[in-house]
A = this chain, B = another copy of it.
Amino acid sequence: MKIIAFQGERGAFSEEAAYRLLGHNLRVLPCESFRAAFRSVVRGLATHCLVPIENTLAGSVYENYDLLLENDLHIIGEVNLRIVHHLMAFPGTTLRNLRQVYSHPVALAQCSRFFAQHPRLERIPFYDTAGSVKMLAERRPAGAAAIASHVAAAAYGARILKSHLEDHRENFTRFLLLSKENQVSKKANKVSIVFSTRNVPGALFKCLSVFALRDLDLCKMESRPLRGRPWEYFFYLDFIGNVQDTAVRKALAHLREVTHFLRVLGCYPSAPR
Give the B-binding residues of A (Cβ under 8 A).
Answer: 54-60, 62, 168, 170, 172, 201-202, 204-205, 208-209, 211-212, 215, 217-225, 227-231, 233, 273
Whether A59 contacts B224 by the Cβ 8 Å rule is yes
List chain B residues, Cβ under 8 A from A229.
Answer: 170
B204 touches A205 (CB 8 A): no
Task: Let me know if A172 and B57 touch, CB within 8 A.
Answer: no
Chain B minimum-CB-distance residue to A209: B205
What's the least CB distance linking A2 to chain B, in Å? 27
**Is chain A's interface secondary structure helix, strand, loop, or mixed overall?**
mixed
A222 and B223 within 8 A (CB): yes
Distance in Å: Cβ of A168 to nearest Cβ of chain B:
7
Question: Shortest distance in angstroms between A233's beta carbon and chain B's nearest beta carbon?
Answer: 8
A97 to chain B, nearest CB (A): 34
- Bound CA span A168–B42, Å: 27
| Interface residue from B202, B211, B219, B228 paired with A205 (Cβ < 8 Å) | B211
Known: A59-B224, A60-B223. 17 other contacts (CB 8 A): A55-B225, A56-B227, A56-B231, A57-B227, A59-B225, A168-B228, A170-B227, A201-B215, A202-B212, A202-B215, A204-B218, A204-B221, A205-B205, A205-B209, A208-B208, A220-B233, A221-B223
Complex contact B225–A57 (CB within 8 A)? yes
A54 touches B205 (CB 8 A): no
A205 touches B212 (CB 8 A): yes
- The residues of B that contact A211 with a CB separation of less than 8 Å are 205
- A170 surroundings in chain B (CB, below 8 A): 227-230
- Nearest CB to that of A228 among chain B residues? B170
In angstroms, how far is the closest chain B Cβ from the Cβ of A184? 23
Q: Are B225 and A56 in contact (CB under 8 A)?
A: yes
Residues in B neighbouring A59, C-beta threshold 8 A = 62, 224-225
Which single residue of chain B is at the shortest CB-CB distance from A66?
B59
Complex-state Cα separation, A59 to B62, whole angstroms? 9
Q: Which 4 A-B pairs have the closest CB atoms?
A: A205-B212, A56-B230, A202-B212, A201-B217
Q: Tell me the minimal C-beta distance from A59 to chain B in angstroms.
A: 5
Which chain B residues border A222 with CB–CB below 8 Å? 223
CB distance from A132 to the nearest CB of B (A): 21
Question: What would 22 A/B residue contacts be, using CB atoms closer than 8 Å?
Answer: A56-B225, A56-B227, A56-B231, A57-B225, A57-B227, A59-B62, A59-B224, A59-B225, A168-B228, A170-B227, A201-B215, A202-B217, A204-B218, A204-B221, A205-B205, A205-B211, A220-B223, A220-B233, A222-B223, A223-B223, A230-B273, A231-B273
